[in-house]
Amino acid sequence: GIRRTIDEHGEVRETASKLLSRLIKKKRFLEGRIEGKLRSLIDRNPELISEPVITRRGGRLVVPIRSGALGAMEFIVHDRSSTGQTLYAEPSFLVAENNVLAGLTGEIRDEIRRILRELTDLFVSCGPALLRDRAILAHLDSLFGRAGYAAAHRCSFPAIGVRIALRDARHPLLPAEKVVPISLSLGREERMMVITGPNTGGKTVTLKTLGLLSAMFQAGIPIPASPDSELPILSRIRTDIGDEQSIEQNLSTFSAHMKNIVSILAEADSGSLVLLDELGAGTDPQEGAALGVAVIEDLLEKGGFTVVSTHLTPLKYLAFRHPRIKTASMGFDPASLSPTFSVIEGLPGRSNAFVIAERLGLPERLIERARGFLSTGEVRAEDVIEQLHREREALSAHRKAARSEEEEARRLRQDYERRLAAFEKEREAALSERLRRLEGFLRDGQKRIESILAQAKAGTDPERLRDDIHAVSELREAARGFREEEGSPASRPLAELAEGDKVHVHSVGADGRIVHVDPKGKVTVDLDGIRVLTDPIDLFPPRGERASDSSPSRPSRRILRPERVPLQLNVRGMTVSEALREVESYLDRLLRADIRSASILHGKGTGALRDAIRAYLSSCTFVRSYGSPPPNRGGEGVTLFEIAGEDDD
C-alpha cells in the first residue's frame, strides 16, 4: 500500500522492498568503513588537513587538505575552494571503496524508481476514482472554508427571494469592529435606488458592500449580514465603480465611465444587478445629469436591479417622478461635520456644503452671497429636506427608546413569570404536604370509628368509649381546619380598595399590598417583589386579620363558593333604560354573593345617566347609601354605594 511505501514526508521508505532495504544497509556499512579510514587519516596527518571534517564531492567521500599537501600523499582532487587554498581530495587507497559506494547509490536510485513506477501504474488504473475523490475533497475543503469564514465573521445565509433586503450588512473585507452596518431594500416594484450624500460619506462602500455580498451569495458563501436578509438569484453583476482614466488608452474620467456604461447597457437584463458610482460625473453637470437620466430610464426598462450614487441635483429628485425608483441618502452629522455611514431610505441627501463651509470659517457674507445664486426652488427644496432629516432623526430616537423600554418590559415579564412559576411550585408542594397530612387524619379517624363501632357491638361500657369518641371529635375538627385552609376563604371580599392596603390574593394563595387600583376594575398587587394584576373579587383580608374581624356578637354569613362578581359595573355608552336593566341585574348578583360595597362607572357627560341610576338606587330599600368618590378615583363619573346586611339595624 501507499502508506507502507511512502512516509509522511513523501519519501520512499527504506522498507519499501527487500532489495532496497538490503542495498541501504550495505551502503551505510560501507560509508561507515570509509569514514573511519578518513578519520584515521585526519588524526595521523593533521599538518595536511585544512579542516578536520569529512564531506562529499560528486557523490564521493573526501577530506579538505591544504594545497601544498599533494606531494606528501597520493590524492585525487575533486574540487577546490574559491581561494584555491583548500583542496577536496580523495586518498588513492579509498578509490576502490568509493567506487563501490557510488555503485550502491546508483542501485538504490534505480530501485526507488522501480517502486515509484509500480505505484504510478496503480494510480493510473484508479485514475477516474481519484479524480472524483479529488473533486469531493475540493468541495469539502470549500465547505469547510466557507463555514470557517462564516464563524470568524459572524456570517449567515440570507433567504432566497425575488427582492434585495439587506439587514445590518457589513463590508466583508473591512474590520467588523470598525464597520457601520447598513440596511437597504429593493422589491418587485422599486427596482432602482439613487443614493446621494456628501463625499467620503460611504456611498461607494455601500455599493461595494452590496456587490460583494451579492457575489458571495451567488457562490454559496455566507454573508456578514442579519439572518433575516434576502437576496435574489442573479444572472450577472455589473459595476462601474472608481476612476478608470487611462493615459495609454487616451481616456478621461468621463470617457472611461461611458465606455464601461455602454458595455453594461448592452448586457443588462431583468436578472442583473447594476451598480453605478457617481453617474454623470466628469463632465458638464447639466449634460452629465441628462445622460444620467437617460441611462437610468434605459435600465428601468430592462427590469433589473440598479443602485446609483450621484451628486447631481436632477438625479437626486428623480425618484419623485418615477414610482419604481427609491431615493436614499447617507447620514451626516452637521454638529461634528462627519458622516455617520448609515443608509437613510426615502430621503434625498443634503449637500451640506453651506454648513461645512460656515463651520470651517468661511465668512457669513460669502455664504449668504452664495445662497443668493441658488434659485428659490432649490433653496426651498434643501430646507424641506433638512426638516425631513431632523424629523426622521427625532423619530429614530423615539423608536430606539421604545425598543429599549420594550426589551426592559419583556425582561421584567420573563423574570415575573419565572418567579411566579417558582412560587406556584412551592405552593403546590405545600398543598401536597397538607393534603397528605389530611389523609392521615382521615385514616386515623376511620380506624377510630371502626374500633368504636366494633366495641359498641361487643357490648362495651359507653363510659369506656368516651376517650375514643373525644379523639374522633378532635380529628374531625383538625380535618375541618385543613379543609377551610385549602378551600374558599371564610371572609367576604374587600369592599373598599385603596393603594397601600394589605390583601390576600385568593387565586395564588398569598398576601400582598395594593400598589395601584385601575378605574377600569383591575388591581395591581405586590407579592414580595412580584406584581400581579387581578380582579377585586379575587382580593380578601390578609389571613392574620380574618379572625379579629369577626366577633361572636356578629357572626358573618359564609359562602364557600361565591359567584365572581366584579366590584364595579361599567355602563358608559348605554341608554338610560339599558343601564337601569344592567344595574338591577348587578344588584341581584351582589346580594347573592353577599358583597356589601361596589361602584357603577357611568361617566360624567350630561349627568342624565348618573341621575337616573342614583334615583333608582334611592328607591331600593336594601341600598343603605350612595355617593361620588374623590376626584382622583373618578369623581362625578362614578357612583359608590353600600348594601345593608342582615345584621344591620
Return the beta strands (E) in 301-431 as ranges: 305-309, 325-333, 338-345
For residue 13, count CB atoms less than 10 angstroms from its CB and return exposed for 0-12, middle for 13-18, buried for 19 or more: middle
Q: What is the pLDDT of residue 219?
A: 92
Specify the CATH number for the domain of residue 604.
3.30.1370.110
| Nearest one of 636, 616, 640, 609 to 626, comparing CA atoms | 640
Return the beta strands (E) in 146-271 as ranges: 159-161, 164-169, 182-186, 192-196, 230-232, 236-240
Q: How many CB atoms lie within 10 A of CB 304?
A: 21
Q: What is the pLDDT of residue 175?
A: 85
Residue type, 370: A
* 31 three-state secondary structure: helix
Report the distance separating Cα 466 and Cα 464, nearest Å: 6
Do 259 and 181 share a domain, yes or no? yes
Residue 593 within a domain: yes
On average, the pLDDT of the chain sits at: 81
Cell of 319: 425618484
CB 569 within 8 A of CB 601: yes
Buried b (16+ CB within 10 A) or exposed e, 555-577: eeeeeeebeebbbbbbbeebeee
Do 262 and 164 share a domain, yes or no? yes
DSSP 317: T
Q: What is the pLDDT of residue 558?
A: 35
Cell of 205: 462602500
Specify the CATH number for the domain of residue 118.
1.10.1420.10
Q: What is the pLDDT of residue 237?
A: 96
Do 604 and 646 share a domain, yes or no? yes
Q: What is the pLDDT of residue 342?
A: 82
Residue 546 within a domain: no
Separation of CA 37 from chain center:
77
* Structure-derived torsion over alpha carbons of residues 252, 258, 262, 264, reported in degrees to the nearest 10: 100
Q: Domain residues for 613?
A: 563-649
**Domains: count for the chain:** 3
Return the beta strands (E) in 483-529 as ranges: 502-505, 510-517, 523-527
Separation of CA 570 from chain center:
45
Do 165 and 103 share a domain, yes or no? no
Adjacent-strand bridge partners of 504 = 511, 540
Mean pLDDT by 10 residues, the chain (649 residues): 85 92 94 92 88 89 86 84 87 91 93 92 85 94 93 92 94 85 90 82 89 95 94 95 55 79 93 92 85 93 93 79 86 70 75 70 83 58 58 71 84 85 81 73 66 64 56 54 48 62 76 83 78 77 58 37 73 90 88 84 89 90 89 88 71
Residue range 312-334, pLDDT digits in tens: 878 877 777 888 899 888 877 76
Return the beta strands (E) in 92-199 as ranges: 159-161, 164-169, 182-186, 192-196
* 327 three-state secondary structure: strand
CB 64 within 8 A of CB 86: yes
Residue type, 186: L
Residue 181 within a domain: yes
CB 567 within 8 A of CB 599: yes
DSSP 639: E
Adjacent-strand bridge partners of 77 = 89
Residue 572 within a domain: yes
Angle (CA) 601-604-607 rounded to 5° is 110
Report the distance separating Cα 406 and Cα 340, nearest Å: 26
Report the distance separating Cα 526 and Cα 515, nearest Å: 7
Do 117 and 165 share a domain, yes or no? no
Report the distance separating Cα 31 and Cα 94, nearest Å: 11
Do 47 and 164 share a domain, yes or no? no
Q: List all residues 6 or more positions away from 381 whose beta carbon is below 8 Å from its beta carbon.
A: 317
Residue 280 within a domain: yes
Residue 328 within a domain: yes
Domain boundary among 125, 145, 168: 125
Helices 576-592 and 608-619: crossing angle in degrees, nearest 10, is: 40
Query: pTM for this one?
Result: 0.47
User: What sections of 284-345 are H helices per DSSP?
Assistant: 285-302, 313-316
60: enclosing H helix or E strand: strand 60-66
Phi first, then psi, for residue 342 (nearest 5°) are -95, 150
Report the distance separating Cα 471 and Cα 452, nearest Å: 11
State the first-to-last Cα distance of the chain, in angstroms, to the nearest integer.
112
- Look at the alpha carbons of 528, 531, 534, 536 in this order and tell me if their dihedral is positive or negative: positive
Q: List all residues 6 or more positions away from 292 whose beta carbon is below 8 Å from its beta carbon.
A: 279, 280, 308, 310, 312, 314, 315
Q: What is the pLDDT of residue 551?
A: 42
Q: What is the pLDDT of residue 446?
A: 62
Q: What is the pLDDT of residue 114?
A: 94
* 174 three-state secondary structure: coil
Q: What is the pLDDT of residue 422?
A: 84
Domain boundary among 351, 376, 408: 351
Do 120 and 164 share a domain, yes or no? no
Q: How many CB atoms lie within 10 A of CB 424?
A: 12
Do 104 and 170 share a domain, yes or no? no
Report the distance separating Cα 139 and Cα 355, nearest Å: 55
Do 36 and 184 share a domain, yes or no? no
* 396 three-state secondary structure: helix
Domain boundary among 328, 351, 374: 351
| Nearest one of 102, 103, 13, 112 to 56, comparing CA atoms | 102
DSSP 277: S
Residue 485 within a domain: no
Compute the radius of gyration of the chain from its Cα atoms: 49
Q: What is the pLDDT of residue 226?
A: 93
For residue 222, count CB atoms less than 10 angstroms from its CB and return exposed for 0-12, middle for 13-18, buried for 19 or more: buried
- How many residues belong to the chain? 649
Do 94 and 167 share a domain, yes or no? no
Residue range 123-150, pLDDT digits in tens: 888 888 888 999 999 999 999 999 999 9
Q: Hunting for cell 412559576 — which residue is that? A: 421
Do 219 and 340 share a domain, yes or no? yes
Do 211 and 116 share a domain, yes or no? no
641: enclosing H helix or E strand: strand 638-643
Q: Hunting for cell 361617566 — which residue is that? A: 603
DSSP 49: B
Q: How many CB atoms lie within 10 A of CB 40?
A: 10
Residue 552 within a domain: no
Cell of 334: 452637521
Instruction: Give the pairing of strands 230-232 and 159-161.
Output: parallel
For residue 361, count CB atoms less than 10 angstroms from its CB and return exposed for 0-12, middle for 13-18, buried for 19 or more: exposed
